[in-house]
Amino acid sequence: MKCEILHESRGRIRVHCACGRMTLHQADILEYYLRAKPFVTNAKVYDRTGDAVIWYDGERGLVIKALGRFSFADESAEALVPEHTGRELDRDFENRLIAMIVKRVLKRTVLPMPIRFALTVINAFKHIKEALKALARGSIEVSVLDAAAITVSLIRKDHDTASSVMFMLGLGELLEEWTRKKSVDELASVMSLGIDKVWLIKEGKEELVPTSAISEGDEVIVRTGSMIPLDGVVVSGEAEVNQSSLTGESLPVHKAAGSYVYAGTVVEDGSCIVRVDKTSGSGKYDRIVKMIEESEKLKSQAESKAVHLADKLVPYSLAATVLTYLLTGDSVKAISILMVDYSCALKLAIPISVISAMRESSVHGITVKGGKFLEAVSEADTIVFDKTGTLTHSAPHVAKIFTFGGNSEEEVLRLAACLEEHYPHSIANAVFEEAKRRGIDHEEKHSTVEYVVAHGISSSIDGKKAVIGSYHFVFEDEACVIPQGEQERFDALPPEYSHLFLAVGGELAAVLCIEDPLREEAAEVVSQLRELGFEKIVMMTGDSKRVAKCVAEKVGVDELYYEVLPEDKAEYVRKQKAEGRKVIMIGDGVNDSPALSEADAGIAISSGAAIAKEIADITISADDLYCLLTLRKISRALMDRIERSYRFIMTFNSALMALGALGIIAPTTSALLHNGSTIAISLSDMRAYLP
């Protein structure tokens, strides 16, 4: 693409694209293409002018070369653009705002007085109608105050005041609509599904393929703990599906052949084959937006308190207006009070604070499903960690393999990978990756796979039962035995590793030693969490006492519980809450789901099982645990901001009422200051919480 350099300085260049009129989509393609370059720190494309501003590190020539190679027809560049970028939303708001202001100016400068008055009366009917509806419901709302102010102004033939009030109300409504849509749009984009690969049924075999390669009519298989990647119809199998993210249902829904399933829901138990009805992206974003807008999870207690208080204060504002008129006999002073209410600012600014905090969290790799969970994080005094994939790295690896019964390393690893690759867990991933690293192919040789939560996997190979999992599962539940004469080798297994046991036909075939390296930042994060006000830091794991104690000592937790089952974790959280504590639970596996659900705020690691992320209230990046510190700081800053906004709104608007009642400010000034302060506090509450 040809470009003309308009201006440049160190690390920044502005160019004009010689491409004619640029569409919104083309601007998005160029912007995301530039942002994807490793040497570009930021980029902004202006579709109206066809200009692009690029901030970069390194050589200027790399930027010039990248621009020269760019083409709007490049499919790889277009693929970088997300489903929703917000550019169209912003443009719609800009156009509506400009149209509103131009219309206002033309009306005041071109139209004669009688026509302006007639138009003001006509426009007033909308507000009067809303007020009458509210009164018919037996409710005194802000619309009643607005209509009263407009009506009194018209009766006094002060159409300028009435017109100004309606203009400011319209401006406030437009800003509120844009702010909410913008916040929800950005939040929904973050919460959109990120399923990269699915199991495709092809010629009777399972094949792991990218989601983008799936077409309508293809059949995919989903199992326990997995997220359903695409909308479709169940053609075989049965499963219990958690649909709470879309429908709000608390209990899983049974799905069998003929049932319809939705992208983004999670299989809690069972497995089924789904014939795809809608390909990736179809309807997904809209459903998430609907979920965000309708979910009561978005309302924190502070937010609900502000809304309820705003409604309660309306009758008092009306009473103050009447009292002022009775005492002074001055309708102008009374109207000045009508121009002011607490509701607009409280109902707009406080929710914006919450959504802004959720949006800023997403920038730091934290997805929060509702404001009340940020409130819970700010108040929490107890934090419970799972170990594997949480305090330790989410990508453990196979350190050693000990074979038994004459089996070879290659054969047992092939079998283990064949079983484990179907289930999203860090240990399973370690086995699969080790087989991949060694170049071992593992064709499906087993029958239906059954996943036993917190224990292991069971299947059948060549008529023999094959199990892989914990010691308790393999030797106690399944009653497998150690091959004769190999007890001594078994007893000499290295104690510094976690052990994964594989048995075929009731006899031990191999022990895979899993190295579960501690996250480098774990100890520092735990220490700083304590400084940020957490009184009790707990680690709970299904791992052995030996491994658990080693990790706990290095991290520095207050309490340790090992060899626990999923229900034990959930019971501990319930007990702590019964004692009056606010509890956060952090985990990444299917076995953490009950505890995540019980906690005041359940936090899942993004690389963990889909069901954990579905049930969790918050999801953090798998990159590091510093996200937890950021989350705590943002949540506390949110509650501080809500408190400050609340005090400002109450104080400022009360002062306006007093000044109006004393006749110090006119109704138009009162309306201007009131609406201006509402917009100002709302814009202020959209600011970043952290430096």
67-71, 86-90, 336-340, 638-642: which has the minimum mean pLDDT? 336-340
Closest Cα partner for 195 from 280, 291, 282? 280
Tell me what the mean pLDDT of segment 460-468 comes to.
Answer: 85
State the architecture of 367-393+519-620 in CATH terms.
3-Layer(aba) Sandwich (3.40)
Q: Is 677 helix (H, G, I), strand (E, B) or coil?
A: helix
Q: Which residues of 186-213 are buried (b: 16+ CB within 10 A; e: fewer)?
A: bbbbbbbbebeebbbbeeeebeeeebee
Does residue 134 carry a pLDDT above 90? Answer: no
- pLDDT tens column, 521-547: 999 999 999 999 999 999 998 877 878
Specify the pLDDT at position 442.
60
Specify the pLDDT at position 358.
83
State the architecture of 197-280 in CATH terms.
Distorted Sandwich (2.70)
Amino acid residing at 221 = I
∠403-405-407 over CA atoms, to 5°?
Answer: 55
- pLDDT tens column, 156-199: 777 777 887 788 778 767 876 776 677 667 656 655 544 557 78
- Percent of the chain residues topping a pLDDT of 70: 86
pLDDT: is 630 or 155 the higher one? 630
Task: Provide the token pair at 79.
Answer: 């693929």
Contact 645, 683 (CB under 8 A): no
DSSP annotation of 483 reads P
Amino acid residing at 317 = S
Specify the pLDDT at position 395.
67
Specify the pLDDT at position 285.
54
174-183, 266-275, 443-452, 552-561: which has the minimum mean pLDDT? 443-452
Who's near 313: CB < 8 A, 6+ residues apart?
Answer: 341, 342, 343
Q: Which of 140-144, 392-396, 492-496, 503-507 has the highest mean pLDDT?
A: 503-507
**Torsions phi, psi for 71 (to 5 deg):** -145, 135
Closest Cα partner for 677 from 60, 94, 168? 168
The arrangement of strands across the sheet holding 382-386 comes to 366-368, 618-620, 601-605, 583-587, 382-386, 536-540, 559-561
**Torsions phi, psi for 240 (to 5 deg):** -100, 120
pLDDT: is 297 or 238 the higher one? 238
Specify the pLDDT at position 445.
54
Contact 264, 302 (CB under 8 A): no
- Can you tell me the distance from the alpha carbon of 386 to that of 553, in angstroms, rounded to the nearest whole number? 15
pLDDT: is 144 or 467 the higher one? 467
Does residue 276 carry a pLDDT above 70? Answer: yes
- Percent of the chain residues topping a pLDDT of 90: 25
pLDDT band at 296 (very low <50, low <70, confident <90, very high): very low
Specify the pLDDT at position 193.
46
Does residue 294 carry a pLDDT above 70? Answer: no
Who's near 614: CB < 8 A, 6+ residues apart?
Answer: 227, 242, 244, 245, 265, 266
Contact 191, 211 (CB under 8 A): no
- Can you tell me the distance from the alpha carbon of 432 to that of 443, in angstroms, rounded to the nearest whole number? 13
CA count, 13 A, side-chain hemisphere, 562: 13
Amino acid residing at 5 = I
Q: What is the mean pLDDT of the chain?
A: 82
- pLDDT tens column, 211-229: 767 888 899 998 877 778 8
Does residue 420 carry a pLDDT above 70? Answer: yes
Does residue 125 carry a pLDDT above 50? Answer: yes
Specify the pLDDT at position 13.
94
100-114, 470-484, 658-672: which has the minimum mean pLDDT? 658-672
- Can you tell me the distance from the alpha carbon of 610 to that of 252, in angstroms, rounded to the nearest whole number? 15
Q: H-helix or E-strand containing 638?
A: helix 626-661
∠354-360-361 over CA atoms, to 5°?
Answer: 90
Does residue 295 carry a pLDDT above 50? Answer: no
Specify the pLDDT at position 184.
65
Tell me what the mean pLDDT of segment 405-426 comes to.
Answer: 82
Closest Cα partner for 609 from 479, 483, 423? 423
The arrangement of strands across the sheet holding 464-469 comes to 397-403, 507-515, 498-504, 464-469, 456-461, 450-452
State the architecture of 397-515 in CATH terms.
3-Layer(aba) Sandwich (3.40)
110-114, 186-190, 276-280: which has the minimum mean pLDDT? 186-190
Contact 16, 58 (CB under 8 A): no
Does residue 631 carry a pLDDT above 90? Answer: yes
50-64, 320-334, 342-356, 357-371: which has the minimum mean pLDDT? 342-356
Identify each DSSP E strand in 112-231 by its residue range.
197-202, 205-210, 219-223
Q: H-helix or E-strand containing 587?
A: strand 583-587
Cα 287 to chain centroid, rounded: 14
Residue tagged 């949006």 (tokens): 359
Tell me what the mean pLDDT of segment 613-632 comes to.
Answer: 84
Specify the pLDDT at position 228.
83
Specify the pLDDT at position 109.
86
Q: Is 48 helix (H, G, I), strand (E, B) or coil?
A: coil
- Can you tell me the distance from the alpha carbon of 652 to that of 679, in angstroms, rounded to the nearest whole number? 13
Does residue 286 carry a pLDDT above 70? Answer: no
DSSP structure string for 440-462: ------B---EEETTTEEEEEET
Specify the pLDDT at position 144.
80
Identify the CATH number of the domain defined by range 3-81.
Answer: 3.30.70.100
Who's near 27: CB < 8 A, 6+ residues apart?
Answer: 45, 46, 47, 87
The arrangement of strands across the sheet holding 3-9 comes to 3-9, 12-17, 51-56, 40-46
Who's near 126: CB < 8 A, 6+ residues apart?
Answer: none
For the chain, the structural domain boundaries read 3-81, 92-188+299-353+638-684, 197-280, 367-393+519-620, 397-515
Who's near 454: CB < 8 A, 6+ residues apart?
Answer: 470, 542, 565, 566, 590, 591
- Can you tell me the distance from the alpha carbon of 358 to that of 339, in angstroms, rounded to the nearest whole number? 32
159-168, 385-394, 598-607: which has the minimum mean pLDDT? 159-168
